[in-house]
Amino acid sequence: MTRRLLPALLLLSLGASLWAFNLPGSVPKPTAEVRRFELEAISLRDVTFLFELAVKNPYPVNLGFEGMTLGFTVEGARVFTAASQGGFTVPANSEKSNVFTVTLAYDGIIKLVKNYVTKDWLDTVIDGTLVIPLPKIPGLPDNITFTYSFQKKIPAIKPHLAILDFRVLPPTQQQIADAIIRAGRKTDPDKALGVFRNILAGKKPAEPVIDPADLDVPLTVGFTLEIRNDARGPLSFDKLGYDLTVNGEKLVTGESTNVVREKGRDLITVMNTFSSQRLSRNVRALFAEHRGTFAIAGSAAIKLPDEIRKDPVPLSFNETGSFSL
C-alpha cells in the first residue's frame, strides 16, 4: 500500500498531516480530513482542544467508526491518551463532519514535566490515529487507517486563588425603615439597625427586635479575589464574571472590571449588594466565627498570541477554599 500525505494547506495551516492507504485497483476509498483544530477554552485546571473531523463515504452502505485515538505529549513527556474520540456514522454515498472536544488536565502535566513552574509556554504535540472499518466488498481490506499530527503551545498554569479583605457593610437606618414599612412591621428602625450591626460584627444582638432575614434590606459586600499563577503562563484579562457562594449559601453574582495585574497575580476588586433575606444561619456563622468557606465560579477571556488563536480564548474556573475576616 502506498501512503499519500495531504498538504498542510488543505488542513487550514493547522500543521496536521494526514496519511491514507490506497486501496486495490479502482475501488474507491474514503477520505478523512481534520478541517479544524484549535485551542477551544482554558480553565485554571485544564485546557480544551476542538477538532472537526470530516469523512467522505464512497460506498452504497453506511460507514461507521468509534473515533480517533489521540496521544498528548507536552514538553517531550507523554501525559495523556484519549481513545474513541469523535466517532460517528457516515450515510451511504455522502460526506459528514463532526465537531468534538478533548480536555487535557494540568495536574497530569505538572507531575511529568520537569521544571514546570519555570515555564511560560508548553510545547504540546497531539498524535492522532483513525481506523475506519470498511464494508465487506471484494477487493477491500478490513479497514483503512489515517494518522495525524498537531502542534500547539499552551500556557503553563499552576493556580492559587484566595478571597481577601471580605467585608459586609451595615445598611443605613433609612434603608431599614423603608424595609420595615414594606414588610408591614412595627419595629424601631434604630434598634433594628443595632441588630444588623451586632450580627455583622459577629456578636449576639443585645435587643433582637427583629430577624434581619425577615426584611429585604440591601447589604453591601466587598472583597478582593486574588488569582495567582505559580507558573509563568499569562492569565491577564480585563473583566471577570463571578458567582460567589459563602458557607454553602449563594451570595452574589456579577461582573467586575476593577482588575489590577501585580507581581504575577490578578487582583479583582468586587463591590456588590445582596438582600438581608440571605442572612441565613450559615452566613451568620461567617461573622460569628470570623472565617468561612467559599465556592466561586468565574468567567473571562484572555488574549493569547495570534499563532495560538487570533480571537480571545474563554477562561473559566470553579474553585473552592476558605477565608478569614
Mean pLDDT of 128-142: 92
Q: Is the pLDDT of residue 14 over 60?
A: no
Of 192 and 4, the one with more pLDDT: 192
pLDDT digits (tens, 9 = 90+) for 16-30: 333 344 445 578 899
- Helix (H) or strand (E) holding 298, with range, is strand 291-302
DSSP for 161-172, written as a single string: EEEEEEEEEPPP
Percent of residues, the chain, with pLDDT higher than 90: 86
What pLDDT is stored for residue 27 in this prediction? 80
Helix (H, G, I), strand (E, B) or coil at 137: coil
pLDDT digits (tens, 9 = 90+) for 36-95: 999 999 999 999 999 999 999 999 999 999 999 999 999 999 999 999 999 999 999 999
Q: What is the CATH number of domain 3-156?
A: 2.60.40.10
Q: What is the CATH number of domain 160-324?
A: 2.60.40
**Res. 13 pLDDT band, cuts 50 70 90:** very low
Q: Where in the chain is the domain with CATH 2.60.40.10?
A: 3-156
Q: Do 34 and 18 contact (CB within 8 A), yes or no?
A: yes
Cell of 174: 433609612
What pLDDT is stored for residue 25 in this prediction? 55
pLDDT digits (tens, 9 = 90+) for 212-232: 999 999 999 999 999 999 999
What pLDDT is stored for residue 53 in this prediction? 97
Alpha helices (H) along the chain: 106-112, 173-183, 189-200, 281-289
